[in-house]
Structure 1
């Protein structure tokens, strides 16, 4: 794909700092004015500075993009080396500290236990942000709470491996890119390991701190968090992450990372990860990446390493990338996310970018092909392979069409129970499937997105349908319906999975809103509702009322849990100098 990053970091949609915005519409059109305090930004000391800067405005009505500083078409906004320059800035040389306390009251009942009563609970805690230098920030947290954060969207898993969910908790979102090492499928640091047990149970966070930012051109990150023990879920833990990365010229960088999990209640209960990574930019088109890491776990003394090499080439009309990854049998990053071990992974991809002058309103056509194969590290057994052939069509109006054709191969060395009572025996299974994907302009008042996966699947076939429909009325009301249906027919048995999610939101004002997410998942045998009312102040603080409700799918399953939470938080500037 197209290069989007410089030497480090990326785009984080979920992060939120302290800022204000107001928009207006007049005879000259629509405009918006943003006010971002210098205390929200990180910058070096000095009275006169030049800053790299760029702004993108996307007019969804005509699918038009405008940049303050034009960049080559093959790059996105996140290619910071192509940004413009603000010259002669004189940012204030000062330090500050913000304190954000909270008070929370809740009542909840877990129907899985014998207690028939709702249990009341009162909590207090908070966060503090201290600007140590112009570029370094110390974040402290005590009795950390995320009651106001939206619940995860449910997923259907038809694979042999665990799946990940995105991080939404505010404390872990700021400077998240600084701690990101390894990439998708082999992340050395996955923040959802902290405060969430392996079985998904919420684990109370006692507190901790994070020092992050830049010092003398070097990115620094240090995180330490302690969690309580929860009976039947997880013992008390202490997590430490240390990251250093030096940015070099032309999108290049070199860095290292150390991660540790210590069981505070048990002896000889720990896990450590050591890693080093580098990125080398060659000219404007080539980027090379390398990662080497190993883990240390009691009772695991085999091959506990990962080696990951990748390269990409991107121009206005052509893209190419490939990678090699080797993961040892005992590679075990317990503070990261690596769902499989003991394999070698090879991938190569080619993509072309074609822009017709004037043809059916098309903006760009992207034919591409990708081949991936994953082999057992010791025996060379072919575990997973895929040949992906596709052409993507993007219209000026914002519509999109993908015409994917996939050849898949899955090799099972052990029986795989994909559904209750349906066990696929060891063997090699392959075949073709079609996977068309189409969506309309997502900014339109009514938008539609659908994908099909029809064809061979393990010892039989599958017919999978995914659909997403959204509706927006003005700036106040929006709703979206997500549906997923999987009809699986295997030699060992047939089964169907269904998933649905209904999201609704109403904004009384930009600071006062009511949002809900109702979900149904028959694979997990439950349906749930998450309703959130918020009256926001600054930087994501304010008054929150949250109701959670979960029931089994059928009448025999009965209720699972109920909870009602009231939370108030407020940010104070403790001092500034």
Structure 2
């Protein structure tokens, strides 16, 4: 096969980009779909007490939002379960109340009182808020039927991030025929465009016992309820009041003990103090500052059995990086991320940082971040600076163009000063441009992007191009994605586990909707992923064909079969235990099949199972069985057990390998302010047992006391590896 030259390859990429851009270019200005849905909000002169009783004059005078439309299981009629919503405001707060009628309101279904609950497993009410009326970015607030709070950021119209938490107040009361939600959301807790009198808004109700999902402004059932493309209008009598001086300071103090039994070191005493600050530059632009941050209260990552050839991804959980995180984190694709905030502070303390993010006006958003880490004398790691700039410009009705620059710089560093220690790059930089498509009705979505990296001694074949396009209707999901990543492309502050490839990935889903019976819908699922090297020679291919059934009770079953081909581009240990490696250039072909089943969520006892059996590397075989079991004593106790078993048969030197991953978890939610979580993980691939117990008392909104105990053990012979106990106190002052 003729090898493509660099110019030939660039020409191919140019034509691909032109093709995708022409496809995307059909996005035009369009009137808001649910423009006819209008709810008027007026200022109240009387005090509102958040108690769930709705006795104030503000609620008697407020215009109600009624006649919710069903979103699921069907979207062709009004909701059977009735909901009534009212809104008001004063100079400090936005108020909302919802009366959620149902025949037997005291038999609600929830998991627990934990914040940011699983949407599909709880009876709940949600507010969807688009305070720029741009149908792109917004907020969501809500509660489950027991009163647990939910809050998060909405980005790219219908994606949401529940890691974001802020200060607001709510109460839930129960009656024989209804449950009532009442809340106050401070204007200082949200970002909005000053002076405009129309916000995008929607309300969502989920009753999983019926089961029924509904919304005030009508939403097609193929889209989630957070879709800003289908919001109605909140019409203010006057522009929302200025939030005034908006400064929050969140100091913390911490004390802890750690001991490394593995290396027989003495107990270390840890005492730290630090702070975060939030400064509202405008009502829509925020400056975050941090000094000596600590993230010890963050829950441990869920472990996995690692049979992958490439680095695994674990999501960001640290609060400082989360507001407007889409500006930074969503540039690129899941395996092509020029910026991944978990690279900052990875095994090294953060000294200080600043982040400016938000909207300049209806069309422009900005994100700028600068973080400084300390040096590590024992490893020779220098102090490093991380700088990121992201700009986003809205185009057409709901699409945007984004620019990103990422710079990682070693400070006052010379490798010659640290002989015998690892050598680090002086710098690594990335620059990129991206076009994001979102049609006015959300049926067409996609993106096209270019990236280039800059590193010492690497100045060629360091480009990335990728694009995708997806079309979604009630019955069809059709999508195409392709990626091209250069051999020398480097993103030290990103997540790009694989380089030097060209990839194509078409997908097709189709749904049939029976007119009656227990099956709500069913249909085939097809996906094929091809990887090629730079000579366009196939290196990987997985083609999968499945069939999925969804019952009206919300349980799902999927059956699938796959065909796999891999030509290894570098040595690989198929069990990742160090017993041996398969050679570069060896070819591995196998077939596999499996199933996934998820039970209906409204029962106290829930479960899901999955399994697969088929070939594996080196003409071997692999059996994988996994399950999740859950039982709740609602709303105070939620018990869960996750288990995964892999039985792998390979020739010598590997032979037969059995991997177990077991993770029991218990959540005690004594109230929506007092939580105790115990999480155990046994992973025999890593030869580790991890115990993490976290007590949290939210004594005031967004202010917490944490007590965290972490233990790691050798499973055989059973012995302690390391142990830590941390007490942390945070206070949100504004």
TM-score by length of 2: 0.74
Instruction: Indicate which of 289, 299, 324 corresponds to 1:140.
Output: 289
Aligned-residue RMSD, C-alpha: 1.9
CA shift, 1:32, in A, is 2.3
Tell me, in whole angstroms, the C-alpha distance in 2 between the residues paired with 1:111 and 1:344.
47
Higher helix share: 2
Decide whether aligned partners of structure 1 residues 283 and 12 sit closer, same or farther in structure 2, where only a CA change above 3 A counts.
Answer: closer
Equivalent residues of 2:169, 2:701 under 8 A apart: no
- 1:572 corresponds in structure 2 to 733
Match of 1:477 among 619, 637, 645: 637
Q: Secondary structure at the match of 2:581?
A: strand
2:461–2:486: 8 Å Cα contact kept in structure 1?
yes
1:244 pairs with 376, 388, 391, which one? 391
Please list every run of 5 or more consecutive structure 1 residues that lacks an aligned counterpart in the other structure.
197-201
1:195 equivalent in structure 2: 345
Number of residues of Structure 1 aligned to a counterpart in Structure 2? 560
The 1:450/1:572 distance shift into structure 2, 3 A limit, reads same
Query: 384, 402, 406: which is aligned to 1:259?
Result: 406
**1:97 match:** 247
Deviation at 1:520, TM superposition (A): 0.8
Residue deviations 1:445-482 (CA, integer Å, cap 9, x gap): 11101111210111211001111111110110011111
Is residue 437 of structure 1 aligned with residue 587 of structure 2?
Answer: no
1:153 aligns with 2:302: yes
Q: Give the superposition deviation at 1:269.
A: 1.2
Larger radius of gyration: 2
1:42-441 superposed matches below 5 A: 42-46=191-195, 48-88=196-236, 90-93=239-242, 94-115=244-265, 117-179=266-328, 180-196=330-346, 202-216=347-361, 217-230=363-376, 231-232=378-379, 234-267=381-414, 269-282=426-439, 284=441, 285-359=443-517, 361-377=518-534, 379-418=535-574, 419-425=577-583, 426-441=585-600
CA distance in 2: counterparts of 1:364 and 1:350, whole angstroms = 16
The answer to which structure has the higher strand fraction is 1
| 1:236 positional shift | 2.2
- Distance verdict in 2 for CA 1:322–1:36, change over 3 Å: same
- Could you say what secondary structure the match of 1:416 adopts? coil
CA shift in 2, pair 1:26/1:423, >3 Å: same
- For residues 259 and 538 of structure 1, do their structure 2 counterparts lie closer, same or farther at Cα, with a shift above 3 Å needed? farther
Tell me, which stretches of 5 or more residues in structure 2 are unaligned?
1-134, 138-154, 415-424
Output the CA distance in 2 between the equivalents of 1:521 and 1:327. 34
| 4+ residue segments displaced more than 6 Å | none
Secondary structure in 1 matching 2:222: coil
Give yes or no for the alignment of 1:502 onto 2:683.
no
- Structure 1 CA distance for aligned equivalents of residues 602 and 350 of structure 2: 38
Q: Secondary structure at the match of 1:162?
A: coil
Q: For residue 203 of structure 1, report the CA deviation from its aligned partner.
A: 2.1
Q: CA deviation at 1:98?
A: 0.6
Partner of 1:561: 722
Question: What SS does structure 2 have at the residue aligned with 1:333?
Answer: coil
Deviation of 1:412 after TM superposition, in Å, equals 1.1
Give the TM-score of the pair, scaled to structure 1: 0.93
**1-side partners of 2:279 and 2:630: how far apart?**
41
Q: Name the residue aligned to 2:141.
A: none
After TM superposition, give the deviation of residue 183 of structure 1 in Å: 1.5
**CA–CA distance in 2 between the matches of 1:413 and 1:572?**
54
